[in-house]
A and B are shown apart, each in its own frame.
Chain A
Amino acid sequence: MSQPTLVFRNPPDWRRLQVLKWVLPALFAVILAFTTYFTVPPDSQGVVLRFGRFSSIEEPGLHFKLPLGIDSVETVPVKRQLKLEFGFGTPGATNARQLSASRRSRDMEKSMVTGDLNAALVEWVVQYRIDDPRSFLFKVRAPEQTLRDLSEAVMREVIGDRTVDEVITTGRQEIEDRALQRLREMATDYELGIKIDQLQLKNVNPPREVQNSFNEVNKAQQDREQMINVANGEYNKVVPRAKGEAEQEISEAEGYKLKRVNEAQGDAAAFTAVLSEYLKAPDVTRKRLYMETMAEVIPGLAGTWIVDDSVTQLLPMVQGKSIGGGK
């Protein structure tokens, strides 16, 4: 504004001024041109304020505005997925509020008291988007810091209602669900203009000092499974075999039964057949059978003594000579 007066105060060189007559408006036009447009990046929306009052929301692309500070624009990355990390930090985050700066404050973030008054270390992530840029900019001064604080409060609320075992092992899903629900409620209550997409638990551990005893429990659990498995193995090793062997014995007995009955029936049939023939000539058959047997048996004997039926003093004679002498 003070530039023209500065020029006029100098000794007037009319030829030079003639040039300035063109340069000054040109310069002014260029400045105007540069302050009358703005671009909104593809992942954002532009909030336009006229004299500080909200006027419109512009979608991505090139837009025009009134120059000289009449209109001002704030771009808000509404489509970008943002996240907050608690108790840990992924290095190289673009968003400074994504994680706590110091290690000590991260340790503080994750340290919690569980519902059974034990201690646990809980790390988690909240993913969110800005879904109402107007609220985001004008309702709360530090929406992201507020979201951080709320997340911590909510997580401790949920952890404070659960036992250390639920927190560390069985209740993860339930904790995530409950905390997400609570955080959504509060984000709406606070009119942060933020939509919470996800809440995920990361590492959940007992404090380092008691870690060993927790591992010991896991080991004991493994031991229990191991002992049961060994016993089951032993069972499976002997019982199926015993079952097979039992079946074998039964099958053999069934075989025995079949054999025994069949043989009996065979014998009986043979006997019945022979009997019917025998009955036709009993005496002759008897004699024949007797003789046949004798003829078969006697040659195979060690000795045969034939004694007249009048001899009565046989025994002394036998004693005098070894019976086995005939061998």
Chain B
Amino acid sequence: MKLWIALAGVLLLIVVQLLGGAFYTVHETDTVILTQFGGPVGDPVTDPGLHFKTPFVQKVNRLEKRVLEWDGPATEMPTKDKTYIQVDTFARWRIGDPAQYFVKLRDERSAQSRLEDIIGSEVRTAVAGHELIEVVRSDTTRVTPPEETAEGTTASVLPTAKRGRLELQRDILKAAAPKLATLGIELLDVRIKRVNYNQDVVTNIYRRMISEREQIAQRFRSEGEGEAARINGRRERDLREIESTAYKRVQELRGEADAEATRVYAEAYDKSSEAREFYGFLKTLETYRKILGDRTNVILSTDSEIFRLLEKSN
């Protein structure tokens, strides 16, 4: 009895082991390569789910089916115009040919190092063959917006690039992809992540930026002074205009007034010879009143109208 139970247990274990060894699962993210005594057998299995294999003899090797990353180190390199820049690139790739990949590289670590060798050198080649501006600019058709320059806030305009970063990236991809394809790696995309000036260059850049800013500041100040002068000038001009216009109007009005008065007087006084004569007479009397005051001595002859009687009665 005891023996029977023990035997049954051992048998069960063997069956389970056999079944377990005969089945394997393929995950959505995996490609499986079966190997037999170290060598690959059959086509890579890409269809996810439960699969069957020969137990014990065949071994399951899992490879990534997803898109993988490669993030290169920031590397210093010169451009065509001999500016030293730090370029940091990254790439996306996947295992395009699992069989090749498995045979030639085995694991991802060696794949990463080959990616670094090949892409790194292509990046160097591309950067060295182009001026800095080609690495910096992407949309080569873009120019400084006209309102920027018009407003005078920009010291510099955008230098134009012939090809631009996007084309450089395409060059790198095109050059590196075939080399990696032989290793079973399908290179999908290479992009420049960062570009920075080298430490020695950067001080020059800063110096240039500072002088550029100073120039703008000076222009602002001079603009302010110019504008202020313009306003002051306008002020003087307006003041003079206002004052002189007023003076002109005042003189016109006074002239009109005097002319009108003169006309009215003349019309009345010049109506007839009697009027003229009478006016002369009245005016004379009025004048007497005005010029004969308390400081006047008057010598009157008895021949005068007022004293004529004085003599006659004598």
Question: Which residues of A come within 8 Å of B, CB atoms?
Answer: 1-2, 4-5, 8-9, 12, 49-54, 108-109, 111-119, 137-142, 145-146, 149-150, 152-153, 156-158, 160-166, 169-170, 190-191, 206-207, 209-210, 213-214, 216-217, 219-221, 223-228, 230-232, 234-235, 238-239, 242-243, 245-247, 249-250, 252-254, 256-261, 263-265, 267-269, 271-272, 274-275, 278-279, 282, 286-287, 289-291, 293-294, 296-298, 300-309, 314, 318, 323-324, 326
Contact = CB atoms under 8 A, between A and B. Distances in A.
B136 A117 contact: yes
B231 A228 contact: yes
Given A138-B66, A250-B253, A298 B158 contact: no
A258 B219 CA distance: 57
Contacts of B28: 49, 52-54, 137-138
Contacts of B295: 302
Contacts, number: 376
Given A153-B90, A156-B193, A257-B254, A163 B156 contact: yes
A9 B228 contact: no
Given A170-B148, A220-B216, A165 B153 contact: yes
A116 B159 contact: yes
Nearest to B151: A170
7 contacts: A52-B26, A119-B209, A226-B224, A242-B242, A246-B245, A274-B282, A309-B302
A245 B213 CA distance: 47
A301 B48 contact: no
Contacts of A53: 25-28, 47-50
B185 interface: no
A6 to B, nearest CB: 10
Contacts of B235: 231, 234-235, 238-239
Contacts of A230: 228
B33 to A, nearest CB: 15
The 10 closest A-B pairs by CB, nearest first: A224-B224, A246-B246, A268-B268, A257-B257, A264-B261, A220-B217, A213-B213, A52-B27, A227-B224, A231-B231
Interface in B110-161: 132-133, 136-139, 142, 144-145, 148, 153-159
B109 interface: no
Contacts of A5: 6, 9-10, 13
B67 A263 contact: no
A114 B142 CA distance: 13
A166 B193 contact: no
B258 A293 contact: no
A249 B30 contact: no
A116 B209 CA distance: 10
Interface string B251-262: 101101110111
B227 A228 contact: yes
B296 A163 contact: no
Given A226-B224, A257-B254, A267-B265, A275 B275 contact: yes
